[in-house]
Structure 1
Amino acid sequence: MSRPSAGAPRVLPADRGRTNVFVHLGVVYRRVDGLDLHLQVIQPSGDAAMLGWEAAFSGRYPCLAFVQGSGWRRQDLGAGLAFLCRLAERGHVVAVVEHRSSAVAPHPAQVHDARAAVRWLRAHAEDYGIDPDRVAVSGDSSGGHVALLLHATDGAPALDEDPDGAALRLTHTVAFYPPTDLTRMDHEDAVRELLGGVGPGEDPAAARAASPATHLDRRPRGPVLLVHGSADEVVPPEHSTGYADVLRAAGQHCEVVMVEGAGHGIWPSLFTPELIDVVDDFLRR
């Protein structure tokens, strides 16, 4: 390549085919208990400078409602944006869901909020390029627990503020290192707070009622992908492998990915490029 002459601009070709990621920050989807609850909506689009605004945002994409993990407490809604934006570049609208903290409202408030978020996203599908027939749910850690409760109760009145409300019709569920059996977490302060100040050992019925297996039945539901790090000391991998057995015994389709040597949390050691390929492929099947 020849060097440009002094004072001449360096010329680079425009990349006309890349997917843009447009993030709508702080979208209020619900007001409850005097609180505004927000979504961070990551929308794929074309290049508006090349295509024009309307054409760039005319696409319709599958939607993934992602419940950010936090021990069911106050969430840092930007914690997973790097990974989630890479998934949006593959052609998924990703909406990071804020729920009430367990310090403000114990279980099942978090499930109520996530369900309301999914219904809001479907009702506002046209505003954010969402295909309303392709809505999935996901979450990491405590958010994965909430996502699995939505899956287990989809189409049933349990844990629904509106027992006559429409089913979520979730196409897929993806849970990263989720706690699935709260009866095994008696020494976790976060679980005690979620259950309203009592530990699983004091009230095992409450712990079972807040665990997804209690609500699972054999009615058809979308498939589940469970992802766990083999070195997770916060939520041991048995929470995923054990729940996979429960799902399969109930006739549900389930896949498990174990990331060798990975610990707990949204860190690059677990959220690798290979994992994005796996999740993207799962959501498209």
Structure 2
Amino acid sequence: MRSSVGASGSARTAGLTAALLLAAACGVPGSGLPGADGTPATTHEVLPGVGVEVVEPATGPPAAVVVLVPGGGWTSADPAGMVPLAEHLATSGALVVLGTYRTAGDGAFFPRPVQDVGCVAAFAADLAADLATEGGAEGAELVLLGHSAGAQLAAVVALDPGVAADPACPYPPAAADRLVGLAGPYDVVAAADQAWYLFGPDTPDPDDWDAGDPVALAGRRPELPVLLVHGSADTVVPLTATYTFWQALRAGGHTVDIAYPDGADHHTVYSADVAAPVVEEWLGLGVGARG
């Protein structure tokens, strides 16, 4: 159990609170994403109220299976803003699953949002397994990539797949092979005022939040490689949020890469122009896949 931050964490708490209050509103995209070859993406409901859209890679079997987890301050989860990134990663050879999850706006609190993200990841892994039997996706890594509150949820799911296990999920549980976090409020204790929306009225004490705290879980699954990206101009979630998580992951034995794209802010860090080149290089996705 971690204690609450002291005076040095006060500025971080204020910054994180402002970040989450300003997070984008969120839902399931309704029109369907275009696939990398111009065809519509396929839409699925993995659980009641939890939808995904699948964007197939441009050519050939996928080099990676990437699950995109949107932010929304733990009160909403609209993936629409991540559509350009999904399209870009697909043109680079990834099979992309763009999902949503239930939040405080739906009356859902921890562990429900984590379980929903875990079920989306399980769906993606199951889809990849099906493709492998058909001659594609063999050996493709499962990557969880989240932005803001979605990065915090993705981190919990990747570090502790057990907490994400949901008996109602119709797909076999799956453990992520890699984690990418974009400007996440990983230290939920530092974000206590706003993280209430994740943990809910029945668990108001931050001392009881370890199961949903990526910093507290940073020693789990040390074999999991992690990429952390945070825009240098982010005035919503402070850079120290990512740095604190980086320190905890390194102490936990993880291989961690970190990038601070110059001039990117909280709402451009997940854009295709900013995020895609960093993520593609880290995953080894080739531009040749764009044909």
TM-score of the two chains, using structure 1 as the length reference: 0.75
From 175, 188, 212, give the equivalent of 1:169: 175
Tell me, in whole angstroms, the C-alpha distance in 2 between the residues paired with 1:152 and 1:218.
6
Task: Tell me: CA distance 1:206–1:217, structure 2 relative to 1, closer, same or farther (3 Å).
Answer: same
Task: Report if aligned partners of 2:159, 2:221 keep a CA contact under 8 Å in 1.
Answer: no
* Identity over aligned pairs, percent: 24
- Per the alignment, residue 224 of structure 2 pairs with 222
- Per the alignment, residue 190 of structure 2 pairs with 184
From 67, 91, 94, give the equivalent of 2:93: 91
Task: Report if aligned partners of 2:45, 2:52 keep a CA contact under 8 Å in 1.
Answer: yes
RMSD: 2.6
Residue 206 (structure 1) aligned with residue 223 (structure 2): no
Task: Trace 1:20-31 onto structure 2 (pairs within 5 A).
Answer: 20=37, 22-31=39-48
Q: For residue 97 of structure 2, give the secondary structure of its aligned residue in structure 1.
A: strand
Tell me, in whole angstroms, the C-alpha distance in 2 between the residues paired with 1:270 and 1:118.
19
- Per the alignment, residue 283 of structure 1 pairs with 283
Task: Tell me: CA distance 1:275–1:159, structure 2 relative to 1, closer, same or farther (3 Å).
Answer: closer
More helix by share: 2
Task: Tell me: CA distance 1:152–1:174, structure 2 relative to 1, closer, same or farther (3 Å).
Answer: same
Q: Which runs of 5+ in 1 are unaligned?
A: 1-18, 47-57
> Any idea what the Cα deviations from partners look like across 1:132-179, whole Å, max 9, x if unmatched?
64211111001111111112114xx334335xx966332211110001
> Any idea what the Cα deviations from partners look like across 1:6-32, whole Å, max 9, x if unmatched?
xxxxxxxxxxxxx6254424311123x
- Per the alignment, residue 44 of structure 1 pairs with 57
Structure with max Cα Rg = 1
Q: Which runs of 5+ in 2 are unaligned?
A: 1-35, 286-291
Shift of 1:227: 0.6
From 259, 262, 270, give the equivalent of 1:260: 262
> Any idea what the Cα deviations from partners look like across 1:248-281, whole Å, max 9, x if unmatched?
111101011012332212x2x7636464222112
Which 10-residue stretch deviates more, 123-132 or 178-187? 123-132
Task: Report if aligned partners of 1:21, 1:44 keep a CA contact under 8 Å in 2.
Answer: no
Count of aligned positions: 242
> Any idea what the Cα deviations from partners look like across 1:174-196, whole Å, max 9, x if unmatched?
110001111112343xx222121
Task: Tell me: CA distance 1:22–1:69, structure 2 relative to 1, closer, same or farther (3 Å).
Answer: farther
> Any idea what the Cα deviations from partners look like across 1:201-236, whole Å, max 9, x if unmatched?
x51213443211222335443210011112322211
Task: Tell me: CA distance 1:113–1:281, structure 2 relative to 1, closer, same or farther (3 Å).
Answer: same
Task: Report if aligned partners of 2:165, 2:173 keep a CA contact under 8 Å in 1.
Answer: no
Tell me, in whole angstroms, the C-alpha distance in 2 between the residues paired with 1:219 and 1:210.
15
More strand by share: 1
Task: Trace 1:237-248 onto structure 2 (pairs within 5 A).
Answer: 237-248=239-250
Residue 105 (structure 1) aligned with residue 108 (structure 2): yes
From 109, 114, 117, give the equivalent of 2:117: 114
From 153, 156, 159, give the equivalent of 1:149: 156
- Point out which structure has higher relative CO (alpha carbons under 8 A, 6+ apart): 2
From 157, 162, 165, give the equivalent of 1:160: 165
